[in-house]
Amino acid sequence: MHLLTIFLFIATLHFSLAAQGCVQKFLYNFAADLTLGSGTDQSQLAFITFSQDANTYGTLAQGNSLSAVNSTISSLIRGGYALREISKALKAEETIVTAANGLRTISKKLLVAILADTFTGEEPDHNNLLTSIRGKYDALLSIGIGTNAIQFAYTDITYFSGIAGDTFFITGADQLDFARLWVERNACPTYHGPTTYVPTTLAPTQPTGVTCTLANLKYDIYLILDISNVMPTTDFNALKSAVTSFVYQYSVDNANTQIALIGVSVDPQNYYTGFHAGQRKSNVLTAISMLTQEPSNGQALALAFRVADAAYFQSYANGSNTPLVVYITGNTNFDKDPSSTIASLKAKYSLNIVTVQFTTGADKTKLQSISGGSSCTIDATTTVLRSSLPKTLEQLTCSKSFC
């Protein structure tokens, strides 16, 4: 077969030495199964690893002999950071995969990503990077390794491939030999036709009574959600469901609305959603679905706002999007009075703040002092009130009747 294959190998600190050894063995075996060379019916390989940064290991033209490829595989290094900057790997691909470096138009071309967790940094299709690269290949294949890949990174991995059928999940790196056979089958000239990626996102139907087109709004929405164990599990799941319904109505992309997510208990947790870095709605919805309650009773809300300031406000709150903080909680057991911190940030960045009393364990008076008034604090303490919470929040973004 005349095959060109580029391997993107996630090489983070979380990827154990044993797993890296399994990956290298997989690559040695794959290379041995090919006839490498620059001839018509011969194959070429190139490799890129990525963690905090991306590393390249020569070009396709340099990967056309078994000795050269084996030498490259043995030199693959593991990064010292728990980061997975996939966009940097894709930018490296654009640099090394060119006609001058051995890219052949007559060859079948595969881009194979070996992944073990969610992406960090810019989203892969920021500025249409992934879309542009997709056009160069017959298929983008992804191999997801381990429980994190299945439980947390399913959306990222299948989005990278473009279609679910071009992903292969295994529970451990010791099963990579099964993935090798799958890649080789996809490499056959007549097995896998060119992948056409067709987005399948359906336009949501707005609730009746919302007076503007939510998809056209340009907001930076900062969700600060109570993840303490004060709420019963049923209430916490209802909170997640209501927030999901609220988010779903907006066009979440760089040209429209962006959404940040911070969970708060005795400490705040900032969840990665790709905020202003090629964010997709699925990033946000996945992060919301992953929220779990902490075994603690408390709200470090002042610290949560300081985290939001460092991570988001300083860079984006004075931009063209309207800034809106939505704080939803089942308790107001603050470790310290957050009023002065919040008032200072509100004045500095012209923040709009809405608070939601999700259970009676939260003091409505305290929440009103944070939001600025009773009209900006929403009662969601009953099933009926919770059912209307998404619509109430959405209508506030239409009317901009903030306090």
In the prediction, which pLDDT does 155 show?
82
Q: Does 170 fall in a domain? A: yes
Distance CA(248)–CA(263), nearest Å, equals 19
* Same domain assignment for residues 183 and 218: no
CA dihedral 80→118→172→131, nearest 10 degrees, is: -110
Q: Does 336 fall in a domain? A: yes
Final residue of a domain: which of 152, 168, 187? 187
Give the Cα-Cα-Cα angle 158, 159, 161 (nearest 5 degrees): 65
Distance CA(203)–CA(351), nearest Å, equals 29
* Same domain assignment for residues 76 and 150: yes
Q: Does 252 fall in a domain? A: yes
Crossing angle of helices 17-33 and 66-75, in 10° steps, is 170
Query: In tens digits, what is the pLDDT along the chain, a chain of 403 residues?
Result: 455 666 666 655 455 667 888 889 999 999 999 999 888 788 999 999 888 888 899 899 999 899 999 999 999 877 767 778 888 999 999 999 999 998 888 888 899 999 888 888 888 887 788 888 888 888 899 999 988 888 778 888 888 888 878 899 998 888 999 999 999 888 887 776 444 544 444 556 788 889 999 999 999 999 999 999 999 999 999 999 999 999 999 999 878 999 999 999 999 999 888 899 888 888 898 889 889 898 888 899 999 999 999 999 999 998 899 999 999 999 999 999 999 999 999 999 999 999 999 999 999 999 999 999 999 999 999 999 999 999 999 999 999 999 9
In the prediction, which pLDDT does 123 show?
81
* Same domain assignment for residues 244 and 392: yes
Does the CA dihedral 236-240-241-246 come out positive or negative? positive
8 Å CB contact between 249 and 203: no
Q: Does 155 fall in a domain? A: yes
Give the Cα-Cα-Cα angle 225, 230, 236 (nearest 5 degrees): 50
Q: Does 385 fall in a domain? A: yes
In the prediction, which pLDDT does 309 show?
95
In the prediction, which pLDDT does 194 show?
47
Distance CA(287)–CA(260), nearest Å, equals 10
* Same domain assignment for residues 177 and 229: no
Number of domains the chain is built from: 2
* Same domain assignment for residues 261 and 384: yes
| C-alpha dist (Å) from residue 306 to 5, 212, 311, 342 | 46, 32, 9, 9
Residue 123 sits in a domain whose CATH number is 3.40.50.410
In the prediction, which pLDDT does 36 show?
92
* Same domain assignment for residues 236 and 361: yes
| 3-state SS class at 5 | strand
8 Å CB contact between 327 and 354: yes
Cα 91 to chain center, whole Å?
18
* Same domain assignment for residues 15 and 117: yes
* Same domain assignment for residues 393 and 271: yes
* Same domain assignment for residues 183 and 229: no
Residue 17 tokens, joined: 């030495």
What is the number of other CB atoms lying within 10 angstroms of the CB of residue 343? 15
Cα 323 to chain center, whole Å?
21
Radius of gyration of the chain measured on its C-alpha atoms: 24
Give the Cα-Cα-Cα angle 10, 12, 13 (nearest 5 degrees): 155
Look at residues 200, 274, 285 and name the one whose alpha carbon lies nearest to residue 240: 285
Q: Does 204 fall in a domain? A: no
* Same domain assignment for residues 304 and 234: yes
8 Å CB contact between 27 and 181: no
Residue 194 tokens, joined: 């060119």
Range of the domain at 134: 3-187
Distance CA(52)–CA(348), nearest Å, equals 33
Distance CA(113)–CA(99), nearest Å, equals 21
8 Å CB contact between 380 and 358: yes
Q: Does 195 fall in a domain? A: no
Per residue in 231-277, pLDDT (tens digit) is: 999 999 999 999 999 999 999 987 899 999 999 999 999 988 889 98
Q: Does 100 fall in a domain? A: yes
In the prediction, which pLDDT does 122 show?
82
Crossing angle of helices 154-161 and 281-289, in 10° steps, is 160
| 3-state SS class at 394 | helix
Distance CA(136)–CA(130), nearest Å, equals 10
Q: Which residues contact 117 (CB under 8 A, 6 or more apart)?
A: 10, 12, 14, 84, 146, 148, 149, 152, 153
Residue 20 tokens, joined: 């890296």
Q: Phi and psi for 329 in degrees, rounded to 5?
A: -145, 155
| C-alpha dist (Å) from residue 366 to 229, 342, 353 | 20, 12, 13
* Same domain assignment for residues 179 and 256: no
Crossing angle of helices 233-248 and 389-399, in 10° steps, is 40
Per residue in 158-203, pLDDT (tens digit) is: 888 888 788 999 988 889 999 999 998 888 877 764 445 444 445 5
Look at residues 201, 181, 202, 203 and name the one whose alpha carbon lies nearest to residue 191: 181
* Same domain assignment for residues 40 and 99: yes
